[in-house]
Amino acid sequence: MLVNTTVPGRAEIEIPAETRGTPSKEKTRTMAGQRGGNPWLITGFLLVVFLAGWQLATLRTAFDPKGLTDEQLQLMEFNGDIVREADGTYRWNPEKEKVQGIPGPLAVLDKARVELSEAFVKKGTNDHGIGFLVFYTVARFGAGFLAASVVAIIVGVLLGLNKVLFRAVNPFIQILKPISPLAWMPLLLYTVKDPKWTAILVVFMAALWPTLATTAFGVNGLRKDYLHVAAILQLSWFKRLFTVILPGAAPTIVNGLRISFGSALVAVVPAEMLLGELGVGYLSWIEWNNLDISGVIFAILVVGAVGVILDSGFNKLAGLVTYQD
């Protein structure tokens, strides 16, 4: 749109209305960023405040023997509350402090330093470094998620192309979908009689239903124009599947895969804990049995870090096949 602007003594000048008094998109983004601040600085500030508050809340004063008799000190030493130094002074027992309240971030950092220094060391049959445990968890997760994705997409496409079959099977999907994957674990363990395969099947059950349902709905709601063009071009069934159906339903399928991805990642850790299979979940349970709360917190942080890395990788792959109409 053009706007006429009259300047005295000069000819009329036509100025595009889009540029007249309207800031550019880049300038708008810059102004919005300046008003809102740098999000990374805010994140760092919140992290520092959280860690400082955590450390102060868990800080324990040094042991003071004043007012205590020798008998009381001996009793506390016998119970393991305090330990005697070589110079005859007393201090709190660091081993017992592990089970008295939540440890501070410095204790967790020291635990992380020890674990990461032995990340790829095997000390025994069930004592593997954190690097091996993360690999076991990721491998178990990947096997279950990939198998569930393949089965869910194939079955979902078949159901989506046949409305009658879709309506017939949909009630079963809706009943099975909300069942927790851990509820299947006793039956799966009884059936396969192998904890390793049971853990993979638990991940499989967690990832199956969201992708299956969204794929069926996506294919069922595919634009009829796409299928008509494929029929006019006389494409074979496989060409129609890979050039029309799957690309057309790709955004919906990816959304289902994203939901399944999160569900599978949540299911693999408790499956390892309950089945006693080596992995990050197993580490968390063992640290709890050892009453090492710092180790439990470290295991929780490892789970979060692994989840962020896997989710970031999945989002990059998903961005290659998604589009907007």
Does 155 lie in the same domain as 91?
Answer: no
Does 237 lie in the same domain as 162?
Answer: yes
154, pLDDT greater than 80: yes
| Four-residue CA torsion sign, 93, 99, 101, 106 | positive
Does 208 lie in the same domain as 81?
Answer: no
Residue 325 lies in a domain: no
Does 235 lie in the same domain as 156?
Answer: yes
Residue 50 lies in a domain: yes
The pTM of this model reads 0.74
Quick one: average pLDDT of 197-207? 93
Quick one: average pLDDT of 4-24? 52
Quick one: average pLDDT of 113-133? 87
Chain segment 269-305, per-residue pLDDT in tens: 999 988 888 888 888 888 888 878 888 999 999 999 9
Give the pLDDT score at 264. 92
85, pLDDT greater than 60: yes
Does 78 lie in the same domain as 37?
Answer: no
Taking all residues of the chain, what is their mean pLDDT, rounded to a whole number? 82
Does 177 lie in the same domain as 200?
Answer: yes
Does 297 lie in the same domain as 266?
Answer: yes
Quick one: average pLDDT of 71-87? 79
Task: Report the percentage of the chain scoring pLDDT > 90.
Answer: 25
Does 150 lie in the same domain as 89?
Answer: no
Q: What is the DSSP letter of 276?
A: T
DSSP string, 136-195: HHHHHHHHHHHHHHHHHHHHHHHHHH-HHHHHHHHHHHHHHTTS-GGGGHHHHHHHH--H
Does 38 lie in the same domain as 133?
Answer: no
Q: Which residue range(s) make up the domain with 306?
A: 122-319
Residue 324 lies in a domain: no
Give the pLDDT score at 324. 61
Residue 1 lies in a domain: no
Chain segment 235-256, per-residue pLDDT in tens: 777 888 888 888 888 888 888 9
Q: What is the DSSP letter of 111?
A: H
Residue 110 lies in a domain: no
Task: Return the higher-pLDDT residue of 29 and 185.
Answer: 185
Q: Would you tell me the crossing angle of helices 130-161 and 246-275 to the nearest 10 degrees?
A: 140
Residue 208 lies in a domain: yes
Give the pLDDT score at 123. 84
CA distances from 161 to 29, 89, 157, 166, 223 (A): 44, 79, 6, 8, 12
150, pLDDT greater than 90: yes
Does 163 lie in the same domain as 93?
Answer: no
d(CA 311, CA 261): 8
Number of domains observed in the structure of the chain:
3
Chain segment 36-78, per-residue pLDDT in tens: 568 889 989 999 999 899 888 877 777 777 778 878 878 877 7
Cα 113 to chain centroid distance, Å, stands at 23
Does 47 lie in the same domain as 133?
Answer: no
Task: Return the higher-pLDDT residue of 245 and 133.
Answer: 133
Residue 194 lies in a domain: yes
Does 185 lie in the same domain as 82?
Answer: no
